[in-house]
Homo-oligomer: A and B are copies of this chain.
Amino acid sequence: MIIILKQEAPEQKVRALIEEVQGLGMSVNYSAGAEATILGLIGDTSRVDEDKLRANEVVADVRRITEPYKKANRRFHPLDTHVAVAGRTIGEGFFHVMAGPCSVESEAQLCTVAESVKKSGATFLRGGAFKPRTSPYSFQGLEESGLDLLREARRLTGLPIVTEIMGEEQIPEFEDVDILQVGARNMQNFRLLKALGRTKKPVLLKRGLSATIEEWLMSAEYILAGGNENVILCERGIRTFETMIRNNLDISAIPLLKRQSHLPVIVDPSHAAGTAWMVEPLARAAIAAGADGLIVEVHNNPKAALCDGAQSLNPEQFDALMGEVRRRAAFEGKQMQ
Residues in chain B near residue A212, CB distance under 8 A: 241-244
A7, A185, A277, A285 — which one has the most chain B CB atoms within 10 A of its CB? A285
Please tell me if the beta carbons of A190 and B132 are within 8 angstroms of each other in the complex: yes
- A248 near B: Cβ within 8 Å? yes
> Which residues of A, 21-64, contact B by the 8 Å Cβ criterion?
27, 29, 31-36, 38, 40-47, 49, 51-52, 54-57, 61, 63
Tell me if A's interface is mostly helix, strand, loop or mixed: mixed
Are the C-beta atoms of B51 and A215 separated by less than 8 Å? no
Beyond known contacts A38-B65, A46-B135, A212-B242: 7 more, CB 8 A cutoff: A49-B139, A52-B307, A63-B65, A137-B225, A167-B189, A185-B189, A259-B277
Determine, out of A80-88, A113-121, A308-316, the stretch whose residues face the partner at the interface: A308-316
Which 9 pairs, one residue from A and one from B, show the smallest C-beta to C-beta distance? A55-B309, A54-B310, A210-B210, A33-B42, A288-B288, A29-B31, A185-B188, A255-B281, A284-B288
The yes or no answer to A108 lying at the interface (CB within 8 A) is no
Q: 24 A-B residue contacts at CB 8 Å? A: A27-B33, A29-B29, A34-B42, A34-B44, A35-B43, A49-B139, A52-B309, A55-B309, A55-B312, A56-B303, A136-B194, A167-B191, A167-B192, A185-B190, A212-B243, A212-B244, A214-B243, A238-B240, A245-B252, A249-B251, A252-B282, A285-B285, A285-B288, A288-B328
> How many A residues touch the partner, as a band?
35 or more
Q: Is A175 an interface residue (CB 8 A)?
A: no
Kindly state whether residue A198 has any CB partner on chain B within 8 Å: no
On whether the beta carbons of A35 and B135 are closer than 8 Å, the reply is no
Residues of chain B within 8 A (CB-CB) of A287 are: 288
Given A46-B137, A137-B46, also A251-B306 (CB < 8 A):
no
A-side interface residues toward B, CB under 8 Å? 2, 4, 7, 27, 29, 31-36, 38, 40-47, 49, 51-52, 54-57, 61, 63, 65-66, 68, 75, 132-139, 166-169, 185-186, 188-192, 194, 209-210, 212-215, 218, 221-222, 225-226, 238-245, 248-256, 259-260, 272-273, 275-278, 281-282, 284-290, 302-312, 328, 331
Q: Within the complex, which residue of B42, B68, B190 is in contact with A166, where a contact is CB–CB below 8 Å?
A: B190
Closest residue of chain B to A133 (Cβ to Cβ) is: B190
* A65-B63, A168-B167, A309-B52 as given contacts; A33 in contact with B40, CB under 8 Å: yes
Cβ-neighbour of A49 out of B136, B307, B328 (below 8 A): B307
Q: Is the CB of A304 within 8 A of B31?
A: no
| Residues in B neighbouring A222, C-beta threshold 8 A | 136
Establish whether residues A241 and B43, one from each chain, have CB atoms under 8 Å apart when the complex forms: no
* Given contacts A38-B40, A42-B31, A309 and B51 within 8 Å (CB-CB): yes
Q: Contact check, B310 vs A218: say whether CB atoms are below 8 A apart.
A: no
B303 pairs with A55, CB closer than 8 A = yes
Q: Are A35 and B45 in contact (CB under 8 A)?
A: yes
Nearest CB in chain B to that of A43: its residue: B34
Closest CB in chain B relative to A160 CB, distance in Å: 25
Is the CB–CB distance between B51 and A65 below 8 Å? no
| A256 closest partner in B (C-beta) | B244
